Amino acid sequence: MKYKAKPLPPVELPDLRVVGKPLRRVDALGKAVGSTVYAGDFSMPNMLHGKVFRSSQPSARIKRLDVSKARELPGVICVLTAKDLPDAKLVTDMPGQTGQKRRAGTDAPVLASEVIRYRGEPIALVAAETLDIAEQALERIEIEYDTLPGVYDPLEAMKPGAPVVYEPDNIVATWKIRKGDVQAGMAMADMIIENTFSVPFVDHAYLEPEAGMAWMDDQNVIHIRVCTQVVEHFRSIARALGVPQNKIHIQGTFLGGGFGGKEDITVEIFLALLAKYTHRPVRLAYSREESIMAHSKRHPFIITHHTGVKRNGRITAAEIEMISDAGAYPYLSPYVLLYATVTACGPYRVEHLKVDSTSVATNNPFTSAFRGFGAAQACVAYEQQMDEIAKALDMDPLDVRRANYLSTGDRNATGQQMKSAVWLEETATRALETLGEKTSECGPIKVGQGFASYMQSYGRITWFHDTSRAWVGLELDGTAVIRCGVPDLGGGQVNTLCQIASEVLGVPLENFIIYSTDSALTPLAGTTTATRQLYMSGSAVHQAASEIRRVLLEYAQLHFEQDIENLELADGKVYVKSDPENFLPLAELTKMCAAEGLPLSNLALFKAPFTDPIDPETGQGDIFPDFTFGAHAVEVAVDTETGEITLLKSVGCHDVGRAINPIAVEGQIQGGSTQGLGYALMEEVQVVEGVIQTPSLSEYLIPTSRDLPTTKAIILESGTGLGPFGAKGIGEPSLTPAAPAVANALTNALGVRIKDLPLTPEKVLAAIEEAKNA
Amino acid sequence: MPEFDLLMPQTLPEALEMLGDRAPDLTPLAGGTNVIVYMREDRHRYKMLMDLTRLNELHGVRREDGHLVLGSATTIAELLTDPLIAEHGALLRQAAAVFASPLVRNRATVGGNLVDASPAADTAPPLLVMNAEVELASQKGVRRVPMDEFMVGVNETLRQPEELLVSIRWPLPATRSAGGFSKIGLRKGAVCSVVSAAVMVEKDEDGLCQSARIALGAVATRPIRAYAAEEILVGQPLKPQIIDLAGQLSAETVKPIDDIRGSADYRRRMVEVLVRRLLSRAAQEIVPRE
C-alpha cells in the first residue's frame, strides 16, 4: 500500500451517554412515513393563489407595462407592480447583523420598475381565486421592452466601455491580501507554476422548490409560512412593506434542502405583499422551472495561481487572482468573494502572499450563497494547483502538501492563528489508505486516483458579531421542551440540539419536543448558513440546559445529602454515582423543584467571538471563529474513446471535532460530497447571453444513484472545536474537497488536466486529443 | 396546466371510433411521460386526450407466425421482466435498462416512445435493427409500416390523426445472430441519449456476415439506419478492419446537430466508437459452427 494513515495525536474525549451515539433522529420518523408537513403542503379556507410575472429579457428598459387586462379578469383579486410599492428593495444585508458596507443603490428592487437586469426578474405579482386564473392573468399582462446592450462575461464587464449594470461601474466588491514580500518570495523559488482554473454556475437543485403561504390576522400581523434558511428576514420584509417589524411573523418549516439557495429572500416577500393587499390567505409555490429561473446560483469563478516553489516542494510565494460573476444584483457576492479570498492559497503555509479578488456585475442570473460559499470554488483551484506543482516537481502529491500543510499554531492567509487541531495529513492519509490499490485498467479504460485537502470556516465572519438564543425547559412529567429559532434544512439541526440537551439533562432523546424556526415564538437563533448552527445554537442549548442541570443537581444535593460531584443525571433519573439504586425519577425531581419555585427553564444567549473588520489594504486580521479540516479521495475510470468518467470509489475523511450524531455526520459527508462530485462531473447552469439553457432537471443534470458509489465517511474527532463537546462543523466542509479530488484523479488517469469544470465527456476527449497532438 | 377533456374508452373499437370522430383534436395518451411534460411546458395545447390504459388489446407480448408481437401500451418496465422479450428482444431489453429512470419506465410505453418520435428515442434503434414494423389501426382497418419509414422527422411520424399505434412486431431473431444497444449520456441514469446505437448481425454457416443492420439515435432528425456501413459487412468475415470501416462509414452517414448535450463533432465520433464496439461484441457472441 502506497499511503499509510498517519497516527493520530492522543485525544481524550469525555465519555458521553447520548452525544456521539448514532441515535434515531427526532425528525426521522415523520420524514420516513411522510407525515412531516412542508411549506408547500399548507392550504387555508378562502385562500388565493399567487403568481409572479417575470422578465423575458436579460437587459432592457420597460417601455410600457399594462396590467389592466389582468386586473379585469374575473377571479383576479390583485395585481401589484412596482408602482404599488414605492422604493421597496430586497435588502441583501446579512440579516440581523452589523458590518456590511454594500454599495448604495445596488439592492434588488422587489419588483422591477424601469430597468431589467436579468431574465426572470420579477415585474408584477398576481393573486387570484384559482391557480388557473392566476396563470391566465399573467398572459394578459402587456409589456413592451426597449432592449439594452447587456454584458454577460465578467471579464468583458470589467473593461472600460462595457455596458454598466448599475452605475458607476460593474465592480461589486474587491478584497486584497498583502502578506510578506511576494517579489522576494518568488525570487527564492526554483520554479514558478502558473495555472488558471474556472468553475461554472451551479444550481442548488434542492428537492423542494420554494413555497409558502401568508395571511393577515386581526392585529394586522402578517404570518408567513415558508421554507427559509433565515427567519430573521422578517425585518427586511417589514422594511419593504413599510410596516413595523413586530407585524411580520415568519413560521418556518422543515426544508427539503436549502444549500444556500434559501438564504436570500425568495417567495416570502411576495406572499407578504399579496396578503397585505388582499387581506386574504395567499399561497405561492414555484415549479422547478420557476425555481431555477428565480433563485440564486453558485458563483462562477476564474482563478489564476502563480506559485513559487522550491525543489523540495515548499511554497515560497503565491500570487492569486480571483474573479467572480455576481450576476445582476450583488446579494451575498461580497462575502462569497471574501470566503474565497481567505482560502485562496488553501490550508498551506504561504509567508509571501498576494491575493486580488473582484466580483463583477453582469446581466446573468444573480449569484449568492451555495454550500461552500466561495471557499469551495477556491478549493477547486488551489488543490488542482497543488497537484500541478507536484507534477512539475515530479513529487508525490501528498509529499508536496506535507511540505506545506498548516499546523496548529500556524497563521493562515489573513494572519489568523489556527488554534484547534489541524489534521490535514491525518485526514488525507486516511482517505487515501481507504481508497486502496488502484483498480486495474482494461483496454481504452484508464484508472486514476486523486485527493484534495481543504480548510473551511464554520461560524460567521466574526465582525458580524454573531449570536444565537435557545430556550430549554423541563415539564413536570420529566419530559423536555426546546424552543430555538433554528431552521432545519434536513441536516439534522433540530435533532442535534435535542441530543445535546439530552446529554446534559439526562432526559431521554425521545422525551424531547423541539419548536423551531419561528421568528416570533422561538428565540432567534440566526441563520442556518455558514455551518454555524451546531456551533452557535448547539452552544446556546448547551448553556441553557446546563443552567437547568445546575438547578436540578443543587436541589438533588439536598435530597440525597450528597455532594454534587457524586450525583448524575441520566436515563430520566438522578442518582448517586456510587449507588445507582439510590435514584429519583426526573419526573419526581422536577415536581419537587417546581414546588419550591425553582426555575426549570432557561433562555440562553450564545455569542461568537467578536472582532473588528480586517485591514482592507492588507486583508490581515481574524475573520472566522475556527476552521474544519479534512480531505476527500476518489478513484475514477475514464473511457478514453468516449470521454465518459465512471466514479469507482469515494472516501471523505474529516475532523469534525466531536460527532454529536455519527449517522447525521455520515449523512452530511455523503450528501455534501455528492454535490461536490456532481460539481466536478456534470453540473452546470448553462447561460447564453443571460438566458439559462438548462431550465429544468431534464437539462440541468445532477448525479443519480447510478452515477456515484457510496461515499465512505471517515469521521475523526479531535475534540478541539469551539462547539458543544468540542464539535466543529461539517455541513459545508463535506462538499468542498470532492470536486478537486475528481479533477486530480482524472489527471492522474490521463496525464492531462482540464482546468474548467464540469469534466464532461466531450472536454475529456478534447483534452486527450490535445495531449496526443502536443 | 391548461384544462382539457379526457376520454376513457374501454375497448379498442371504441377508441378507434372516438379517434375517427374527433381527430385531429383528440390525442392518445398512454404513459403521459411526453404529453404531460409538453402540456406543462406549454409546448402543446391539447383540446382532448384519450386515455389508452384500459385497452387490453394494447397490452401483452405474444409469438405469432415467426414474429414477436408487442402491444403498444407495453411499458418500458415490462420489457425488463417479460420472458419473451428476454428471449427474442434482447436489444430492446438492453435499451429498456438504460431508458430514463425507473419511475419513467413504469409509465412510459413503447408505443408512446415511437409516436413521440424523438431523434433520441431509445427504443427506436433496437427496433430498427430488428426489422420491426408498427401496426396502425383505424376504423378503416390496420396497416403495417416498417420502422425505418415510420418516423419521418423530429416528433413526426406517418401515423394519421385517426390512427392508433396498436402493436409492434418483428421477426424472431435468427439463430446465428447477435446484436446490442448502447448509448452515451451525460450521466448514467435518467438521461437523454447524446448518441445511441444498435447493431444486429447474422453469420452464415461459414462464419461470414450474412446480414448486418446498424441503427443510430440522436444524430439526425430521426433515428436512422446506416445502410452504407451495413452493406460493406455483408459477405465478409467480421474482423477488426472491416468493423472499423463500418464504424467510419456509419459516422459519415449521420447529420448530427450541436446542442446543450453535445457537439455535432462529438456525436459523429461517438457513432464510430459505439458501432465499432457493438459490432465487435456481436461478432464474438455468435457461436461458431460446431
Comma-separated ranges of CATH 3.30.365.10 domains in chain A: 301-461+613-773, 467-607
pLDDT, residue B40, reads: 87
pLDDT tens string A554-600: 999 999 999 999 999 999 999 999 999 999 999 999 999 999 999 99
Sign (positive/negative) of CA torsion B186, B189, B195, B197? positive
Contact B188 A682 (CB under 8 A): no
Nearest by CB to A642, from B189, B192, B270: name it: B270
Instruction: Give the 3-state DSSP-derived string for A475-527, with helices as H, strands as E and coil as C.
Output: CCCCCEEEEECCCCCCCCHHHHHHHHHHHHHCCCHHHEEEEECECCCCCCCCC
User: What residue in B sits closest to A708 (Cα-Cα)?
Assistant: B188
Angle of helix A333-342 relative to helix A375-393, nearest 10 degrees, comes to 30
Find out whether A458 and A733 touch, Cβ atoms under 8 Å.
yes
SS3 A580: strand
DSSP annotation of A347 = S
Q: Look at the block and give the residue holding cell 448514467.
A: B188
Nearest by CB to B187, from A132, A642, A704: name it: A704
B266 touches chain A (CB under 8 A): yes
Q: How confident is the model at residue B288 (pLDDT cuts 50, 70, 90)?
A: low
Contact B189 A701 (CB under 8 A): no
Q: Which of A101-115, A130-144, A692-706, A759-773 has the lowest mean pLDDT?
A: A101-115
B186 touches chain A (CB under 8 A): yes
Peptide bond into A334 cis (omega under 30): no
Contact B187 A693 (CB under 8 A): no
DSSP annotation of A697 = T
Q: How confident is the model at residue B286 (pLDDT cuts 50, 70, 90)?
A: confident
Instruction: Return the CATH number of A301-461+613-773, one of 3.30.365.10, 3.40.50.1240, 3.40.50.620, 3.30.465.10.
Output: 3.30.365.10
A432: which 3 cell numbers?
A: 487515501
User: What residue in B sits closest to A133 (Cα-Cα)?
Assistant: B2
pLDDT, residue A1, reads: 54
Contacting residues of B for A701, CB less than 8 Å apart: 186-187, 191
CB neighbour burial string for A99-108, b if at least 16 within 10 angstroms, e if fewer: eeebbeebbb
Residue A747 has pLDDT above 50, yes or no: yes
What proportion of chain B, given as a percentage, has pLDDT over 90? Answer: 95
User: What residue in A sits closest to B259 (Cα-Cα)?
Assistant: A693
- The beta strands (E) that lie in A341-466 are given as 353-361, 445-458
Contacting residues of A for B269, CB less than 8 Å apart: 765
pLDDT, residue A92, reads: 63
pLDDT, residue A94, reads: 54
What proportion of chain A, given as a percentage, has pLDDT over 70? Answer: 98
Per-chain mean pLDDT for chain A? 96
Residue A98 has pLDDT above 50, yes or no: no
Contacting residues of B for A706, CB less than 8 Å apart: 187-189
Contact B3 A132 (CB under 8 A): yes
pLDDT, residue A141, reads: 98
- Mean pLDDT, range A415-444, rounded to an integer: 97
B176 touches chain A (CB under 8 A): no
Q: Look at the block and give the residue holding cell 413555497.
A: A211
Contact B187 A642 (CB under 8 A): no
pLDDT tens string B248-283: 999 999 999 999 999 999 999 999 999 999 999 999
Q: Do domains B56-171 and B177-285 have the same CATH topology?
A: no
Residue B82 to residue A653: CA distance in whole angstroms: 45
pLDDT tens string B184-203: 999 999 999 999 999 999 99
- Model ipTM value: 0.95
A451: which 3 cell numbers?
A: 485527493
pLDDT tens string A311-337: 999 999 999 999 999 999 999 999 999
Interface size between A and B, measured as CB pairs under 8 A: 47
Mutate to test the interface with A, among B186, B192, B243, B271 (most CBs of A within 10 A): B186
Contact B190 A699 (CB under 8 A): no
Q: In chain B, where are the structural domains located?
A: 5-51, 56-171, 177-285
HSE toward the beta carbon, residue A457, CA cutoff 13 A: 28
Contact A761 B192 (CB under 8 A): no
Alpha-helix runs per DSSP H in chain B: 12-22, 35-41, 76-81, 83-88, 90-97, 102-107, 110-116, 124-129, 147-150, 227-233, 240-253, 264-285
B269 touches chain A (CB under 8 A): yes
B112 touches chain A (CB under 8 A): no
Contacting residues of A for B262, CB less than 8 Å apart: 761-762
Contact A765 B269 (CB under 8 A): yes
pLDDT, residue A99, reads: 45
Nearest by CB to B189, from A287, A707, A761: name it: A707
DSSP β-bridge partners for residue A585: A573
Mutate to test the interface with B, among A130, A641, A646, A764 (most CBs of B within 10 A): A641
Q: How confident is the model at residue A93 (pLDDT cuts 50, 70, 90)?
A: low
User: What residue in A sits closest to B263 (Cα-Cα)?
Assistant: A762
Instruction: Return the CATH number of A39-148+210-285, one of 3.20.20.450, 3.90.1170.50, 1.25.40.10, 3.20.20.80.
Output: 3.90.1170.50
Contact A642 B191 (CB under 8 A): no
Contacting residues of B for A646, CB less than 8 Å apart: 188
- Mean pLDDT, range A292-319, rounded to an integer: 98
User: What residue in A sits closest to B3 (Cα-Cα)?
Assistant: A132
Residue B217 has pLDDT above 70, yes or no: yes
User: What residue in A sits closest to B268 (Cα-Cα)?
Assistant: A642
As its CATH architecture, domain B56-171 has 2-Layer Sandwich (3.30)
CA A28 to chain CA centroid, nearest Å: 22
Taking the CA of residue A762 and the nearest CA in chain B, the distance in Å comes to 7
B84 touches chain A (CB under 8 A): no
Nearest by CB to B189, from A642, A704, A762: name it: A704
Contact B188 A646 (CB under 8 A): yes
As its CATH architecture, domain B177-285 has 2-Layer Sandwich (3.30)
Q: Are strands B209-217 and A567-570 parallel, antiparallel or unpaired?
A: unpaired
Q: Which CATH class is domain A467-607?
A: alpha beta
Overall fold of domain B5-51? 3.30.43
Q: How far is CA A94 from CA A464, A479, A610, in A?
A: 8, 36, 16
pLDDT tens string A107-153: 899 999 999 999 999 999 999 999 999 999 999 999 999 999 999 99
